[in-house]
Every structure is written in C-alpha cells, then in structure tokens.
Amino acid sequence: MTASTQHAALIDFVRDIYGPDPLPLHRPVFEGNERRYLVDCIDSNFVSSVGARVTEFETQIAAFAGARHGVATVNGTAALHAALLLSGVARGEEVISQALTFIATANAISYIGARPVFIDVDRDTLGMSPEALRGWLEVNTRRENGRCVNAASGARIAACVPMHTFGLPCRIAEIAEICTEYGIPLIEDTAESLGSYVGARHTGTFGQIAAFSFNGNKIITTGGGGMIVTDDAELSARAKHLTTTAKRPHPYEFFHDEIGYNYRLPNLNAALGVAQMETLPEMLKIKAEVAARYREFCALHGFTFIDARAGTTANYWLNAILLEDRAARDALLEASNAAGVMTRPIWRLMTELPMYENCQNDGLDNARWLVDRVVNLPSSVPESEFGRLKP
C-alpha cells in the first residue's frame, strides 16, 4: 500500500462518517436542552455571577466523576491555577508536569511564580510515565524536614500535575502511589478526560484535586468554563472562597479577607453545561462507536490507532493515530488538510517554547518520539447521530 492510497482511503473513510463539508477536528453539539435553559436564564435575569445553574452544574459534574465536591470556574486554566494555589504551591517552588501537554498546564504553574519540571510520558498513554517520575525523583531530589526538595535548586517539589491526554487515562494509580511515597500533592489535569476511567474509577479522583475544562473544543462545553473537583470539604470551601473574590458572606458588607480571584463561572455558561451533561452519557456511547470504526479502519489500512490501555476506558474525545516517522506524519497532515479534512499534530513540547526552554527535564525521549508521529483525526459526534442526543 503506498502512502497516497493510504491517505486517500483515510480521507474517504472520514468523509463517510462526517459527510462532504470541510471538517473541523472537534465541534460542540447542542441537541439537548441548551436553548431552553439559556432562554430561562435570560427570562429570569439570572445570567451572571448568581443563579441556581452554577450549583446544579457543580453537583452534576461531581456526581458524574464520583467526587464529593465541585467548584465551577471561568475556564480550565483558572481551575488549574486555583487547584495549585489550594494545594499550597508557592512562588519559587517547583511543580512536576509533562512536557507533552497543552500550554495551560505549564502556564497555571507559572502564574504562581512556581517553576515546572518536565517529566517524560509513556508511549502508549501519551500521559506522564510513572517510571520516568520515579527515576527523576530518585536521582534529583532529597528529603528535608519531611519535604521533597530538588537537590540542584533547593526548591520544594510542591505538586505533581499529570494530564490524561486526549482522554486516554495515564497510569494514574501508579503515579498516585509515588506521590504519596514522596509526600507530593497530586493534582490531575482532567481537562480532556471527562468520561474516562481507570477500572470503574473516574480520572480526577486519584489525587487531592482535579481540574476539568469545558472550553468549546472539549467533550462538553459551557462556551468557556472549568471546574475543580475534590473529596475534601475544606479544600472545596477554600476553592469557592478563593475563586469568588474571597468575600466573607454578608447581606451588605464588602469584606474580603485575602486576595481572591474573579474566577466564578457565570450562570449562563453553567446553564449550557447542565444541558450538555444531560447528553454526555449518550455522547460517550457515540464517541466510543466512532473510535471503534477508526480502530477497525486502522487495522485494515496499516495505521496504528492509539487506544486506551487495558483496564481503562477512554472518552475518545480526540482520536489519534501513530505514523512511521515525521516525514510520514507531515505527508498525512498535508494530504488530509488539503482535502478539507482537518488533522493536526500533537502539541510542541513545552521545552520547545521560549518561556519554558530552560526548564529542568529528564530528556523527554518518548515525548519527542511521539511529537514526530502522532496525528489527531476528526472526532466530533457525527451529524447522523444527532437524533440520539435529543431529549
């Protein structure tokens, strides 16, 4: 099979699922109660920072993820920023994350004035590698008054932030064990993994806190939005306080007891989220069916489909395949995009960006290998399936 027949087969196959129009990688679907709930907000005048939809959405997400509490925020980056602050990360400290991620993970660490340390990922999950994490910690850190300290910089390792790439669960149970052993708070970046599980356990429930995103390109959207989830009642109360300007409740006085953030999700956005959550279970079924079609196509046409590892369930937010090498990757990107089928490479490594190029890292061999080979394919819910999302 030549590369060009392989490309043509893939383009035909994608058109077969999605139809003839130019195709984005992922677009939202509003086939549930979205319009009705938005109009309700406008009619009742509850569009902004007060309204029942926020609490409802928080309860829905927490229940879905199997966490005790949810605190909604304006976006996922804000949720990560607040999660790091709540975990006690402070200026000058260091936070371990992965170099293969969306920029928000590293930026949230930087907003605090903390420095990211970038650890390699596993080739199968595209998420943080527990072996790489342990290897780096063993060689580069020491214990000091019960704290884990970077031997080179003397800074405390204040948190670890793995990410579940494209909704594929990383080896989070193993990572959690290592973090416990070293006394490092674990924060999961679950921006891409709503509906992804390890066994029966939802991603985002392995550490202290997790941060979801409901940006327009995610599996469900609130326009813009995010959420912190945690089992810790005190952390959740602190999260609410910190993300709502740190105002002490009072009928008319303005007393703010620390520098808080205006990170609260407006009621309008939460209303969209409540309607989207009603369709999520059906959406997950449809996405698993689309993934199954890609899996079968790949097996027949010599592509490598990146699948959830055994014992885990992915939400198949974005489907991805592995090409032979960078040249093969680029040839496919060129052919498919020229044909109006949007495909994309994975992100640049954080260490390839000017603001993070000097950050400590472990060599990132697998991450570099993946950057040369991963391509995302169109993964939205196909229009032909919309009927299944109607209330």
Ligand X SMILES: *Cc1c(COP(=O)(O)O)cnc(C)c1O
Q: Which of 10, 95, 133, 163 binds ligand X (CB under 6 A)?
A: 163
- Closest contact distance (angstroms) between CB of 62 and ligand X is 18
- Closest contact distance (angstroms) between CB of 225 and ligand X is 7
Q: Which of residues 37-96 bind ligand X (CB under 6 A)?
A: 75-77
Q: Is the CB of residue 10 less than 8 Å from the CB of residue 320?
A: no
Q: Which of residues 293-322 bind ligand X (CB under 6 A)?
A: none
Nearer to ligand X, 163 or 298 (CB): 163
Q: Is the CB of residue 164 less than 8 Å from the CB of residue 188?
A: yes
Q: Is the CB of residue 172 less than 8 Å from the CB of residue 162?
A: yes
- Closest contact distance (angstroms) between CB of 50 and ligand X is 22
Q: Give me the phi and psi of 380, to 5 degrees please.
A: -65, 170
d(CA 308, CA 312): 6
Residue 374's H or E segment, with its range, is: strand 374-377
Sign of CA dihedral 328, 330, 335, 341: positive
- Closest contact distance (angstroms) between CB of 149 and ligand X is 27
d(CA 126, CA 142): 28
Q: Give me the phi and psi of 115, to 5 degrees please.
A: -110, 135
Judged by CB under 6 A, which stretch of 1-9, 18-26, 98-106, 145-153 contacts ligand X? 98-106
Q: Please state the separation of Cα 160 from the chain's center in Å.
A: 15
Q: Determine the residue with CB nearest ligand X.
A: 76
d(CA 257, CA 254): 10
Residues 168-207 as x/- pattern, contact with ligand X by CB under 6 A: ---------------------x-xx---------------
Nearer to ligand X, 17 or 194 (CB): 194
Cβ-count burial of 147 within 10 angstroms (0-12 exposed, 13-18 middle, 19+ buried)? middle
- Closest contact distance (angstroms) between CB of 136 and ligand X is 21
Q: Which of residues 331-390 bind ligand X (CB under 6 A)?
A: none
Counting every residue written for the chain, the total comes to 391
Q: Which of 13, 102, 182, 316 binds ligand X (CB under 6 A)?
A: 102
d(CA 248, CA 290): 48
- Closest contact distance (angstroms) between CB of 108 and ligand X is 8
Asked whether position 228 contacts ligand X by CB under 6 A, the answer is no
Asked whether position 215 contacts ligand X by CB under 6 A, the answer is yes
Residue type for 362, please? D
In the block, tokens 């959830």 appear at: 308
Q: Which of 6, 98, 101, 141 binds ligand X (CB under 6 A)?
A: 101
Asked whether position 105 contacts ligand X by CB under 6 A, the answer is yes
Nearer to ligand X, 137 or 163 (CB): 163
Binding residues for ligand X (CB under 6 A): 75-77, 101-102, 104-105, 163, 189, 191-192, 213, 215, 226
